[in-house]
Amino acid sequence: MRRFRLHLVPYNTNIDFVGMRFITFSIASIVIIASVLSMSFKGLNYGIDFKGGYIFEVRMPEVPNISELREKLSNLHLGEVALQQFGADKDILIKVERQEGEDVEQEIAIKKVKETLGANVDYRKVETVGPKVGSELVKNGVKAVGLALVAMLVYIAFRFEWQFAACAIMALTHDCVAILGLFSIFPLEFNETAIIATLITAGYSINDTIVIFDRIRENIKKYKKMALGELINKSLNETLSRTTLTATTTLLALLALYFFGGKVISTFSLPIIIGILVGSFSSICLAAPLLLYLHLKRTDVSKEDKASLEATV
């Protein structure tokens, strides 16, 4: 029985990724500069988790329609309103961001929420989340991303060589900055799910990068006299079908969540969709071509061959 293999990219594809590196490096530089400038001057649009607000734990008199209730609370124009079920079917958790102004404005906001929920509602907890808690969440989120990057750096340096690790971390840094820039440039709430989206992007990107690095390492042993630029191109084209197929299947699932998953899931899915595209770009166009500049060791190559290899770079 013959096996059927799906190839989104033709087997004999020969795209000159290394030759296009100055274009892709320029695109990556523009993305990073735009993201850093936006975060420096505009900042991030922090959600309730970071800038503080109010948390209501309530038990409704009957099982609520979450989508209808969310729409009613959103129409109050109190900023970000998060709603979710927890515990029993009648129990819901409501988060409302802190209002601008003094205590009077806060009391008015709480009153509006209670009026919308209606009568016979059991308020089990109404508490305030201060900005101090939000600043701690920011620090913890940055620490989580930083530790993840360091762990990946150690793993790749141990499995490959330090040149591979350095290139992977540069590409991952580009991905994380690009995602943060997305939350800064566009009107997206930066909350705990944004940190999760950033970590998912980093994990997906490093998985793609390691597959490409594996093929480069195999080809270094197989083609000992091939110019490094040509070898990287060959490795990228050999793994391009796998990279494209993985990204496409992942994006199909995420697009289904984005279009049919409702407002909350759509908001969570969009940064991951962008992250998959950014991660695939950085794995192919940044991580691998950067190896040209870090003097990657080539074993069993004569001095003449080394000179010709360096000349091609």
Taking only the tens place, the pLDDT of each residue in 290-310 is 998 887 776 544 444 444 444
Residue 218 lies in a domain: yes
Q: Is residue 160 part of a domain?
A: yes
Residue 98 lies in domain: 53-129
User: What is the number of structural domains in the chain?
Assistant: 2
Residues 17, 167: contact at Cβ < 8 Å? Answer: no
| Domain stops at, among 94, 129, 164 | 129
> 36 with 82, same domain?
no
Output the furthest CA–CA distance in the chain (Å, rounded).
Answer: 86
- β-bridge partners, 85: 92
Q: Which residue has the higher pLDDT, 38 or 264?
A: 38
Same domain, 86 and 164: no
Q: What proportion of the chain, given as a percentage, has pLDDT over 90?
A: 22
Looking at the structure, do residues 152 and 286 belong to the same domain, yes or no?
Answer: yes
Of 129, 145, 168, which residue sits at a domain end?
Answer: 129
**CATH code for the domain of 92:** 3.30.70.3400
- Evaluate whether residue 10 is within a structural domain: no
Same domain, 106 and 251: no
Domain end residue (candidates: 129, 157, 172): 129
**34 pLDDT exceeds 90?**
yes
pLDDT, residue 144, reads: 77
Together in a domain, 155 and 87: no
190 and 162 share one domain: yes
**CATH number, domain at 303?**
1.20.1640.10
End-to-end CA distance of the chain: 46
Q: Is the pLDDT of residue 23 over 80?
A: yes
Spatial distance between the Cα atoms of 58 and 119, rounded to a whole number of angstroms? 12
275 falls within a domain: yes
Residue 13 domain-assigned?
no
Number of helices (H) and strands (E) in the chain: give both, helices first.
Answer: 10, 4
Element holding 174 (H helix, E strand)? helix 162-185
Co-location of 174 and 266 in the same domain: yes
Pull the structure tokens for residue 1.
């029985």
Tell me whether residue 1 is in a domain. no
Mean pLDDT of the chain: 82
Sign of CA dihedral 229, 233, 239, 244: positive
Q: Are 117 and 260 in a shared domain? A: no
- Whose CA is closest to 167, among 286, 36, 31, 249? 286
207: pLDDT strictly greater than 90: no
- Do 69 and 103 lie in one domain? The reply is yes
Ramachandran angles phi, psi of 259, nearest 5°: -85, -30
Tell me the percentage of the chain whose pLDDT exceeds 70. 88
- As given in the structure block, the two tokens for residue 22 are 């100055």
Shared domain check, 174 and 307: yes
Q: Tell me the two tokens of residue 42.
A: 């505009």
**Would 124 be classed as within a structural domain?**
yes
Contact yes or no for 226/234 (Cβ under 8 A): yes
Give me 184's structure tokens: 């800064």
Q: Are residues 102 and 205 in the same domain?
A: no
Within a domain: residue 3? no
108 and 234 housed in the same domain: no
**Mean pLDDT, range 150-155, rounded to an integer:** 80
Mean pLDDT to the nearest integer, 200-224? 88
